Amino acid sequence: KTLKDLGDLKGKRVLVRADFNVPLDGTTITDDGRIKAALPTINTLRQEGAKVILMAHLGRPKGKVVPELSLAPVAIRLGQLLGVDVPLAADTYGPDAQTKVEAMKDGDVILLQNVRFNPEETSKDEAERDEYAKKIAALGEVFVSDGFGVVHRAQGSNYSVAKFLPSAAGLLVEKEVKALSKATENPERPFTVVLGGSKVSDKLGVIENLLSKADRLVIGGGMVFTFLKAEGYEVGSSLLEEDQVDTVKGYIQTAKEKGVELVLPTDIVVADEFKADSPHRVVPADSIPADKMGLDIGPDSQKLFHDKIVDSKTVVWNGPMGVFEFPAFADGTRAVAQGLVDATKAGAFTIVGGGDSASAVRNLGFPEDGFSHISTGGGASLEFLEGKALPGLEVLK
């Protein structure tokens, strides 16, 4: 169900679950992509004359009030982006939330305090979550689920609430599901999947699901060293998941059997230690010295990955190619991002799959419109790509 299914929303109190789990440096938001992504739904509801009551989490406070995880910086940033004051309730469903909701006029927007300050939000006991969700639901008349980044969780404010109010997906959730389905269900070929990030163990489900769909699998980031090890090379002091080497050997074999092209880096930028200013140099991927750690893919690999991406009609990318937070080790991630931008220009459908890769493209200065879609989901987009049923979406059906 989508917004259209909710009928006339004029004057109605609309509870909206958003994903405002943004990276913070103290109280400074370092990437507001998730807040911007919520604007279309909020603006549409305001234009319809609804009273918009936003709910969100920040971090993992484990059911306690943690002042550093207050949504105050989000309320301020959201207010700036909307051009209106966005009051923050001191609680999620308590007296302050109720007073603030009662004072709302048509088109107003308020934000409830971090839903995870309540232990029931993430309780394993469904009955406890339901009781809590009823109290939240009492604040609204309809529920809009627009926090794509949390649809893989069955928590109080994004899942249980939908049981007690007429509910629908917001515009962001709709857009995410359309984009990710387009890539995974009926991709125009060649379909290239680029995976990076530190751990191969986080990507097992994605690799398994996409090995039977993709034409090409391009691997970089910390996880690549487990692939290089599985190919029989030494990886020095690079990240390595020894216990996954056999699993990865299996993937390499499956890729061969299914005719999926597996693209690994041919050269690696190695450093003495994990530090921004560590001395570094480029070595062949099959000769990483014992005392060095790989922190990025090398220049030949950057060109190789870029060319493979440009030679695609559908590209899904998840996970940085190196330690992009350190400028000396950001070139691999930059080359992949540039590959997607060039592929998009050439008519390909390209997706940046959330989390670190989405922050990386924004922080490296790539324009949002250089890609067909930048997902706001981290774990959620990964689980979507794994082909799993996501509770936050199922409950809306």
**Catalytic residue list contains 213:** no
Angstrom distance (rounded) from CA 1 to CA 163: 14
Residue 155 CB, nearest distance to ligand 3PG (Å)? 8
Non-local (6+) Cβ contacts of 289 within 8 A are: 236, 270, 283
Asked if the bond preceding 284 is cis, omega within 30° of 0, the reply is: no
Residue of 9, 21, 219, 265 that binds ligand 3PG (CB under 6 A): 21
Phi-psi region of 207 (alpha: psi -120 to 50; beta: other; left: phi over 0): alpha
Q: Is 150 in the site for ligand 3PG (CB under 6 A)?
A: yes
Which window, 25-33, 148-156, 217-225, 340-348, contacts ligand 3PG (CB under 6 A)? 148-156
The CA-atom distances, in angstroms, between 55 and each of 58, 71, 91, 188, 368 are 10, 10, 11, 37, 25
**Catalytic residue list contains 34:** yes
Output 60 or 189, the one with its CB closest to ligand 3PG.
60
Q: What's 215's DSSP letter?
A: S
Residue of 33, 61, 73, 149 that binds ligand 3PG (CB under 6 A): 149
Residue 363 CB, nearest distance to ligand 3PG (Å)? 16
Angstrom distance (rounded) from CA 345 to CA 374: 15
The β-bridge relationship of strands 167-169 and 24-25 is: unpaired
Among positions 55-84, residues that touch ligand 3PG (CB under 6 A) are 60
**Catalytic residue list contains 355:** yes
SS3 52: strand
Output 18 or 52, the one with its CB closest to ligand 3PG.
18
Beta strands in the chain (DSSP E): 13-17, 24-25, 28-29, 51-55, 109-111, 142-145, 167-169, 191-195, 216-219, 261-263, 267-271, 280-284, 293-297, 314-318, 349-352, 373-374
Residue of 19, 32, 356, 386 that binds ligand 3PG (CB under 6 A): 19
Output 57 or 213, the one with its CB closest to ligand 3PG.
57
Q: Is 153 in the site for ligand 3PG (CB under 6 A)?
A: yes
Output 15 or 154, the one with its CB closest to ligand 3PG.
154
Output 21 or 160, the one with its CB closest to ligand 3PG.
21
Which window, 88-96, 147-155, 223-231, 344-352, contacts ligand 3PG (CB under 6 A)? 147-155
**Catalytic residue list contains 175:** no
Q: Is 23 in the site for ligand 3PG (CB under 6 A)?
A: no
Q: Taking CA 6 as the corner, what is the angle to CA 161 and CA 126, rounded to the nearest 5 degrees? A: 15
Which parts of this chain interact with ligand 3PG (CB under 6 A)?
19, 21, 60, 149-150, 153, 378-379
Q: Which residues participate in catalysis according to the annotation?
A: 34, 199, 355, 379
